[in-house]
Structure 1
Amino acid sequence: MNNIVEVLNNIDSVMYYPVLIIVMAVAGLYFTLRTKGVQIRLFGEALNVIREKPDDKNHVSSLQAMLVSTASRVGTGNIVGVSTAICLGGAGAVFWMWVMCIIATSSAFVESTLAQIYKRKSKDGSCFGGPAYYIEKALHAPWLSVVFCVFLIVTYAVGFNMLASYNLQSTFEAYSFYDKGTTPLVIGIFLAILVGYCVLGGGKRIVKFTGVIVPVMGISYVLVSLVIIAFHIKTVPAMFAMIFSDAFNFRSIASGVAGSCLVYGIKRGLYSNEAGVGSAPNASASAKVSHPVSQGLVQMLSVYIDTLILCTATALMCLASGVERSEAVSGAPYVQNAISTVFGSAGAVYITVAMVLFAFTTLIGNLYYVDNALIYLNKKREPSKVFMRIFHALCAAIVFVGAVIPMDAAWAVADILMGGMTFINLPVCVILGKVAIDALNDYTKQRKELKKKGSSETPVFLAKNIALDESELDFWKSEN
């Protein structure tokens, strides 16, 4: 196992530094420049657009699509991922997480706009799509769509679910009954049975309950973090000084780039917000909006909510508390120690409850997330019930494996698989970027004209406005 972990860590290190970091930075900066900083310039517009509702109540609204993608983003990475980045990379990881969030949000805008433009129409009139579909229709490379779908399936059904399972069981290390030999096994078996029960047709009430309670838990988590920071308000100036000094300690970064705050901040930020990975466009394509850019703008908010609010809440709470950070407490223990400085043993219990809810919805959500990819691989038809039962049973077994593997292996597998998705999606977005940018220009032009007229109407998109071939699209046609 040690040899396997070492190989995984080596692949992970090379993949992210220098290759993927350069790809992400170049793509993000390119989109930021070409869109004239859309993620900042049109932030206010995004807040207005989120209120747009479809004509038919049966269709998915822009807000609903954003909530779906936000639900998939919000999870154990907001707690354990940030903690790991700080403990292993240093306080400066927080700064680089912020930087990459702002830069990568432009990539999130482009991928979601493309998903809207090239979305497909189902028999009942609803819409669906994602990277596999804009790769096939716009890039005319169905073989690459297949490769992307395979990466998406193994990333969410294997990599992310193993990591969520590991992160959940790690929260129990704070309790006296925890035994490294038996506790992960027990938790793994329980999780595998519960997940299997839910995805194999049962547990609808459980899924519905967690779907309602997790947003409440997310809000309460931010409030709790603010309480922790308020109790340690005297350390806040020194905390920010530490974040910035560590972030710009280039001598330290250069001495070990792969394990530096720079790389950890970018890796954990990407894992949490998934900007440019190619996952959120699957949800974005389901929305019924008047203009593709509307959904692109709304999806930017999802990235900000995940990183600038939830991830930052974890980072500032932990650093302000002043508790010791080291490799030994990386993950849930560091966060539990921080919250315990104010709430005592109840703080550790609160984090455990939060992790159980976040991890469980992540486990279930990830399995539903791969349905779109499975349908695409099955010639755009739903796979048989027998196949899906076997597939979900294997996924439940993977959840068990995640609970018992070492921390390094869980993170490395998730990083590598997620990196594979990003390697495909971001270059495709750069190639097709002009389509999204032209759509943005069309949107802003219409918005200015409507404001001059004093009209409250929203911009309406037609493929011909940006010289797209209507025959390749299911929506945005003149006759529609």
Structure 2
Amino acid sequence: MEEDTSPLLDAINAVNDVFWTYLVIPLLALVGVYYTVRSGGVQFRMVPEMIRNLRGSPERAPDGKRAISSFQAFSISAAARVGTGNVAGVAIAIALGGPGAVLWMWIMGMVVGSISFVESTLAQLFKVRDRAGYRGGPAYYMRYGLKKPWLGALFAVVMIFTFSATFNMVQANSITDVVGNSVSAVTGDDTAAGWVAPVVGLALVAVVALVVFGGVRRIATVAQATVPFMALFYVLMGLVVVGINIDQVPGVLADIVGSAFGFREVGAAAVGTAIMQGIQRGMFSNEAGMGSAPNAGATAGVSHPVKQGLAQTFGVYFDTLIVCSVTAFIILTSDPTYGEEIGAALTQNSLENTLGTWSLHLLTFIVVLLCFTSVLGNFYYGEANLRYLTTDERALPIFRLAVIGILFLGAVSSLQLVWDFANVTMGLMAVVNLVAVAPLGMLAVRLLHDYRQQRARGLDPVFLRESMPDVDGVQCWDGQPERVSEPERL
């Protein structure tokens, strides 16, 4: 990521500091702690149920095919979560905030696990039917649950811009970055050949177009096939690095804890910077509280909303406590010089220092898969929210072409400004989402109580709309999946 000291970048950073310090972080913490208490620590107590619910079979969609399964919906959200945030984002957090940023990433990930449960359960409760199964997300629970369609429209617009535009540009640029780094390692030239960016951009455009024009089922199939594969490879490499440097692990943990609370100065990073970087990069990676994962969670054909709420919560742990931690230990066991390298190149070079040049190229392959599946997940999030804004089918191919064009632009651009602007847009997303989650979240707690009661009786939990007759706006859960309902045009 190239240095940029423009006045515009300075202004965006100033906005970010105030916005996150006084609004986003306090709101995340308050809502996260509140629903951790009210749910009885659902994100800690029900981990076995999270894993169990990934194995469920989906119902039939109105077009006669299988609806999206719980695991496929989990894979779509994991595809968006596990990407450049895990490799480049964690590296940025460590480079700018020191090792202490990692601890704040872990802490916030565990606290906001309750928000992840609430938002994805609400997305299931207020989802709507379409011919491929279901769709939903914050825009839908704002419309039908909160009775504020204008807030849903605002969220949908911010969501489309953030994920389909800004985040996808970051993903495309990260692919170019790691491929260019590999090319430089092979040629011995510190500056990658000029052809790398446009060639990578064109290749990415071609492959993504083949997938996204196939619809949500193709996205789910590709995500289901690739996410576990590439994540396993990356985790295994990280474990190898930890094993080789096992003697350094106690010191690394001491650095993480010590610098997080200011007991140990590492890389001249202040405690406030560590907190800010850890929480920002953690949110960019695990997306809990942003309202993005519920868009995927709503697509699942499950028998009870809580099933997918639990499955999506497991995604936060998978992303933050496993994949992000792997990146952190790869970097920190290589004794990095803080501030000199930022982004995916820091992770690549740290891995190369331990395993050799071949690992740099293998990581390039893994990052390409990570970012590619993130692009697919981000695309679906945008499509789901576009369908909220309009029922005109002619808008969809235009949207797809626009996203593909944005990918190419991202591949050939320098994106420090976009990374910083992404902090503003994802913070805005989180605030708008939490405004709805805070008052609606007790519905998710009620659903959790119902789920636990049924499980205690040895039943496979099933929810019907009549079980909560006092709740208006529920579009599904009437026991008749063959009916198709579309939200009226805004």
TM-score, normalisation: structure 2: 0.87
Partner in structure 1 of residue 487 of structure 2: none
* 1:327-406 paired onto structure 2 within 5 Å: 327-378=339-390, 381-384=391-394, 387-406=395-414
1:155 partner amino acid: T
In the TM superposition, residue 469 of structure 1 has moved relative to its aligned partner by 3.6
DSSP-derived class of the 1:287 partner: coil
Aligned partner of 2:210 in structure 1 is 198
SS in 1 for 2:325: helix
Taking the aligned partners of 1:298 and 1:365, their CA distance within structure 2 comes to 17
Structure 2 CA distance, aligned partners of 1:374 and 1:279?
A: 14
Does the CA contact (< 8 Å) of 2:138 and 2:295 recur in 1?
A: yes
Question: Which residue matches 2:485?
Answer: none
Deviates more, 1:209-218 or 1:77-86: 209-218
Distance 2:286 2:318 in 1: 9
Give the structure with the larger helix fraction. Answer: 1
2:153 is aligned with 1:149: no
Q: In the alignment, which residue of structure 1 is the partner of 2:31?
A: 27
Corresponding position of 1:89:
97
- CA RMSD of superposed structures (Å): 2.9
The answer to whether 1:299 aligns with 2:312 is yes
Name the amino acid aligned to 2:246. I
Aligned ranges 1:99-114 → 2 under 5 Å: 99-114=107-122
Query: Which whole-Å CA distance do the structure 1 matches of 2:177 and 2:76 have between them?
Result: 26
Match for residue 460 of structure 2 among 455, 458, 467: 458
The answer to whether the 8 Å contact 2:73/2:220 transfers is no
Aligned to 2:470: 468
CA shift digits 1:279-336 (9 cap, x unpaired): 11111111122221111111111111111111111111211222x2322211112111
Counterpart of 2:359, as a letter, is G
Within the alignment, does 1:136 sit opposite 2:143 as a pair?
yes
Q: 1:76 is matched with which residue: 84, 96, 100? A: 84
Q: Using the alignment, how far apart are the partners of 1:300 and 1:189 within structure 2? A: 33
Residue ranges of structure 1 left out of the alignment (5+ in a row): none
Report deviation, 1:461: 1.9
Q: For residue 430 of structure 1, what is the aligned residue in structure 2?
A: 438
Q: Provide the secondary structure at the position in 2 that maps to 1:121.
A: strand
Matched-pair contact (CA < 8 Å) for 1:128–1:286: yes
Letter of the 1:342 counterpart:
T
* Pairs aligned (count): 466
Q: Which moved more, 1:428-437 or 1:408-417?
A: 408-417
Q: Which AA in structure 2 matches 1:236?
A: V
Identity within the alignment, %: 37
Matching residue of 1:118: 126
CA contact (8 A) 1:277 1:425 kept: yes
Q: 1:247 is matched by which residue type in structure 2?
A: A
What stretches of structure 2 of length at least 5 have no aligned partner?
482-490
- Using the TM superposition, name which of 191-200 and 354-363 deviates more: 191-200
Deviates more, 1:207-216 or 1:48-57: 207-216
With over 3 angstroms needed to count, the CA separation of the structure-2 counterparts of 1:214 and 1:146, relative to structure 1, is same
Q: Secondary structure at the match of 2:55?
A: coil
Distance 2:218 2:153 in 1: 34
CA deviation map 1:122-160 (0-9, x unaligned) = 357x22211111111111111111111101110112110
Q: CA deviation at 1:191?
A: 5.2
SS at match of 1:370: helix
Q: Name the TM-score, length of structure 1 as normaliser.
A: 0.89
Output one character per residue of 1:142-201: Cα deviation in whole Å (capped at 9) or x when no partner. Answer: 111111110111011211011112222222246234537946753564356436743684
Matched residues in 2 for 1:296 and 1:364: separation?
21
Give the whole-Å Cα distance in 2 for the aligned partners of 1:80 and 1:143.
35
- Give 3-state SS (helix, strand or coil) of 1:327's partner: coil
Structure 2 CA distance, aligned partners of 1:340 and 1:107?
Answer: 37
Q: For 2:131 and 2:247, how far apart are their aligned partners in 1?
A: 60
Asked if the contact 1:207/1:361 (under 8 Å) is kept, the reply is: no
**Cα deviation digits, residues 335-382 of structure 1 (max 9, x gap):** 11221123211121112111222222222332233111111111xx25
Shift of 1:218: 1.2
Q: 1:429-455 deviations in whole A, cap 9, x for unaligned?
A: 01111111111122222322x0xxxx3
Partner of 1:274: 287
Is the CA contact (8 Å cut-off) linking 1:169 and 1:187 kept in structure 2?
A: no
Would you say the 8 A contact 1:325–1:334 is kept in 2?
Answer: no
**Which piece of structure 1 moves more, 175-184 or 396-405?**
175-184
Give, in whole Å, the separation in 2 of the partners of 1:206 and 1:128. Answer: 14
- 2:22 counterpart (4, 12, 18): 18
Pick from 2, 7, 15 the counterpart of residue 3 of structure 1: 7
Q: 1:211 Cα deviation (Å)?
A: 6.1
Deviations 1:266-287 (A, max 9, x none): 0011000111111111111111
Q: 1:219 to 1:438 in 2, by over 3 A?
A: same
CA deviation vs aligned residue, 1:3-60 (integer Å, no higher than 9, x gap)? 2222222222222223211111111111101111110011222222333323547122
Which is further off, 61-70 or 102-111?
61-70
1:211-230 matches, within 5 Å, as 212-230=225-243
Change (3 A) 1:207 1:21: closer
- Once structures 1 and 2 are overlaid, which stretch shifts more, 59-68 or 132-141? 59-68
Of 163-172 and 306-315, deviating more is: 163-172
Task: State the partner residue of 1:309.
Answer: 322
